[in-house]
């Protein structure tokens, strides 16, 4: 009997250790971090991509202490955000979205340009859809008052086309986690959309969070959201019941 108890104890200990190790494996610090959708620089493996007003500048990070510029690609006027996905760069500009292929990481090549009205517009994407916010707030010098979320089919990234538009208040940053899209919409809060069936349903509003923020980072159930004076965190593990985690503010 004692023997059985011992082996039960031994095996449970082993199980606990295994679980712990698996957890540790998952949390090995990654080499590069995660930026928000408004980022204007991004690192992919050994390359740093920076956008200025109209160019992508490419730096080699083989020696990470000494970035070396190895290329420059002229994109067009007013580019503002850079989002890496699936071996491509999605560039948001004041006039549209550009998709660049990174087969040769040192030399991005233009796959397509998808233009629309004048306004600010970060991009996030998955294999089939790019989500673009278009806003004509004062900072963006928009000429026509347009505030929208645009869904663009990028199944063939060389031939993007619009499939849906959703009216927004003052959309800025956005984040995508599986079937859920989070769009910061100024004073209207963070809007949560179900985008599991974009071709038939478009983006379906399922929830919203009443905070005025302009960008988010999604970390597998934890959302970090930034506003002018506050840094909020939310637990969205249950999408229908998003919970406050913390608020860091000036008064903190």
Partner 1 sequence: MQKLCLLSSLLLVLIALSSCGDDLQEDFTVEGLRPVYIQPEEADTITSLPPQPIGQLGKIYYKDDLIYVGERGEGVHIVDNTNPFSPERIGFIRIPGNIDIAIKGNYLYGDNYRDLVTLDITDLNNVTEVSRLADVYPEVPQNYPKFYSGYFECVDPNLGFVMKWEPATLENPRCFR
Q: Are 184 and 215 in contact (CB under 8 A)?
A: yes
Q: Which is nearer to partner 1, 37 or 148 (CB)?
A: 37
> Closer CB to partner 1, residue 240 or residue 250?
250
| # residues contacting partner 1 (CB under 8 A) | 48
Q: Nearest approach, Cβ of 215 to partner 1 (angstroms)?
A: 6
- How far, in Å, are 55, 84, 101, 183 from residue 214 at the CA level? 24, 20, 28, 9
CB of 209 to partner 1, least distance (A): 16
Is residue 41 at the binding interface for partner 1, with CB under 8 A as the rule? Answer: yes
By CB under 8 A, residue 141 contacts partner 1 = yes
Q: How far apart are CA 77 and CA 99, in angstroms?
A: 15
In whole angstroms, how close is the CB of 62 to partner 1 at the nearest point?
11
Could you tell me the smallest distance in angstroms from the CB atom of residue 50 to partner 1?
7
Q: Which of 58, 73, 140, 176 binds partner 1 (CB under 8 A)?
A: 140
Contact (CB, 8 A) for 227 and 210 = no
Helix (H, G, I), strand (E, B) or coil at 30: coil
Helix (H, G, I), strand (E, B) or coil at 10: helix
Range in contact with partner 1 (rule: CB under 8 A) among 51-59, 106-114, 159-167, 200-208:
51-59
User: Could you give the angle at the alpha carbon of 115 between the alpha carbons of 114 and 120, nearest 5°?
Assistant: 110
Q: Which is nearer to partner 1, 69 or 159 (CB)?
A: 69
Q: What does the H/E/C string look like for 167-231? A: ECCCCCCEEEECCEEEEECHHHCEEEEECCCHHHHCCEEEEEECCCCCEEEEECCEEEEECCCEE
Within positions 201 to 230, which residues make up the interface with partner 1, using CB under 8 A? 215, 217, 219, 222, 224, 226-230
Task: Residue 132: name the closest of 120, 142, 146 by CA.
Answer: 120
Q: What is the DSSP letter of 6?
A: H
Note whether 56 binds partner 1 by CB under 8 A: no
Of the pair 42, 95, the CB lying nearest partner 1 is at: 42
> For residue 166, what are the β-bridge partners?
149
* Smallest separation (angstroms) from partner 1 to the CB of 142: 10
Q: Which is nearer to partner 1, 64 or 87 (CB)?
A: 64
d(CA 252, CA 231): 11
Q: Select 159 or 246, whichever has its Cβ closest to partner 1.
A: 246
**Does residue 67 bind partner 1 (CB under 8 A)?**
yes
Between the CA atoms of 231, 51, 150 and 34, what dihedral angle is there, to the nearest 10 degrees?
-40
Q: Which residues bind partner 1 (CB under 8 A)?
A: 29-36, 38-43, 48, 50, 52-53, 57, 59, 61, 64-67, 69, 138-141, 215, 217, 219, 222, 224, 226-231, 233, 245-246, 248-250, 252
């Amino acid at each position: 009997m004692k023997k059985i108890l011992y082996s039960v104890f031994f095996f449970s200990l082993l199980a606990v250790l295994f679980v712990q190790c698996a957890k540790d494996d998952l949390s090995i610090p990654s080499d590069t971090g995660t930026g928000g959708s408004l980022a204007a620089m991004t690192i992919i493996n050994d390359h740093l991509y920076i956008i200025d007003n109209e160019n992508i500048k490419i730096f080699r990070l083989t020696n990470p202490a000494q970035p070396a510029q190895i290329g420059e690609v002229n994109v067009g006027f007013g580019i503002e955000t850079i989002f890496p996905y699936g071996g491509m760069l999605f560039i948001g500009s004041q006039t549209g979205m550009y998709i660049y292929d990174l087969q040769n990481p040192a030399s991005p090549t233009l796959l397509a340009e998808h233009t629309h009205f004048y306004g600010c517009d970060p991009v996030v994407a998955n294999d089939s859809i790019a989500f673009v916010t278009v806003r004509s707030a004062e900072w963006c010098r928009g000429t026509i008052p347009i505030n929208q979320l645009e869904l663009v089919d990028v199944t063939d990234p060389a031939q993007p086309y619009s499939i849906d538009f959703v009216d927004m208040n003052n959309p800025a940053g956005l984040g995508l986690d599986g079937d859920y899209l989070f769009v910061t919409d100024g004073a209207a809060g963070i809007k949560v959309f179900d985008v599991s069936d974009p071709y038939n349903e478009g983006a379906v509003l399922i929830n919203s969070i009443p905070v005025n923020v302009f960008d988010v980072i999604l970390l597998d159930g934890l959302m970090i959201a930034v506003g002018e004076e506050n840094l909020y965190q939310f637990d969205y593990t249950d999408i229908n019941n998003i919970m406050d985690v913390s608020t860091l503010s000036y008064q903190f």
